[in-house]
Amino acid sequence: MPRTADHDLRRAQIADAAHRLIAHAGLDAATMAAVAREAGFSVGLVQHYFQSKDELLLFVYRRTTEGQLERIMKLVAEGEAAQRTIAAIMLTGLQELWPLDDRRRAEYRIGRAFHARSLDSPTVAAVAKETAAMVRAQIARAVNNGKHCGEVEPDTDADRAAVRLSALVEGLADQLYREPEQTVNAHPLPTAAADLLQESLTGVFTGECHHHDPDWTDPVKTD
């Protein structure tokens, strides 16, 4: 057990070093030698855990996106415990994908760097596609859950709604990164972006949540 824990710790330390380099100066800065220096390890030790730069970079990308999704799921759990509506939980959770602080700006830069690399790397493209599909699937799941509690009309196309919402979130993330000081009708861009997301969510979650109503009958319940 100690050896396994040490192995995981070393991989995490190396990944953290690569994360910092990519967030600060892009993918090209994260050479094996630079990562080793940043982590305080020898190049040989880094190569022991990651046989190639691509293997290391993919590990960093997966770890970054998994961290984002874990935070979102934590917010979902907290929202459910507080009996918030699905729309309210979505409004809070999806903003975790926006570059609104130093950590999320670094995550955004890493994500965009990998998206650019995916244009020329089928392996990276496959991982990027998998990540995007995972986000859409989580949104679609929330929409379908909304059908059961009355927040969403039963005939709403969950996949279509997920595509629209994910595109809005991604597009706003781009603007928030490029022009964080921009204002819209005298409102800071983050506030305006949240309002736009709220409007879009309201267009999908048009009803009232009855999840905690003991007399509620699920309109889409199947045998």
Are 21 and 127 members of one domain? Answer: no
Are 168 and 77 members of one domain? Answer: yes
Are 78 and 12 members of one domain? Answer: no
- Residue of 1 and 118 predicted with greater confidence: 118
Q: Give pLDDT, residue 222.
A: 53
What CATH number is attached to the domain comprising 131?
1.10.357.10
Band of pLDDT at residue 209, cut at 50, 70 and 90: confident
How, if at all, do strands 187-188 and 183-184 pair?
A: antiparallel
Region class of 40: left (phi > 0), else alpha (psi between -120 and 50), else beta:
left
- Residue of 5 and 46 predicted with greater confidence: 46
Are 135 and 96 members of one domain? Answer: yes
CA separation (Å) from 205 to 124, 145, 151? 34, 11, 5
List, for residues 55-98, the tens digit of each pLDDT value: 998 999 999 999 999 999 999 999 999 999 999 999 999 999 99
Q: How many Cα atoms sit within 13 Å of 153 on the Cβ side?
A: 9
Q: What is the pTM of this model?
A: 0.87
Residue 216 lies in a domain: no
Extract the tokens encoding 204.
Answer: 């999908």
Q: Which residues of 7-19 are buried (b: 16+ CB within 10 A; e: fewer)?
A: eeebbebbbebbb
Are 97 and 197 members of one domain? Answer: yes
Residue 41 lies in a domain: yes
Are 173 and 71 members of one domain? Answer: yes
Return the number of other C-beta atoms located less than 10 Å from residue 197's C-beta: 19
d(CA 125, CA 133): 12
Residue 214 lies in a domain: no
What CATH number is attached to the domain comprising 22?
1.10.10
Band of pLDDT at residue 1, cut at 50, 70 and 90: very low
Q: Is the pLDDT of residue 219 over 90?
A: no
Residue 221 lies in a domain: no
Q: Is the pLDDT of residue 207 over 80?
A: yes
Band of pLDDT at residue 223, cut at 50, 70 and 90: very low
Are 12 and 72 members of one domain? Answer: no
Domain tally for the chain? 2
Q: Is the pLDDT of residue 214 over 80?
A: no
* Geometric angle at alpha carbon 41, from 37 and 42, rounded to 5°: 90
Residues 91-114, mean pLDDT to the nearest whole number: 94
Q: Give pLDDT, residue 211.
A: 74
Residue 92 lies in a domain: yes
Q: Is the pLDDT of residue 216 over 80?
A: no
Q: Give the structural domain span for 32.
A: 1-51
Q: Give pLDDT, residue 3.
A: 60
Are 75 and 45 members of one domain? Answer: no
Residue 165 lies in a domain: yes
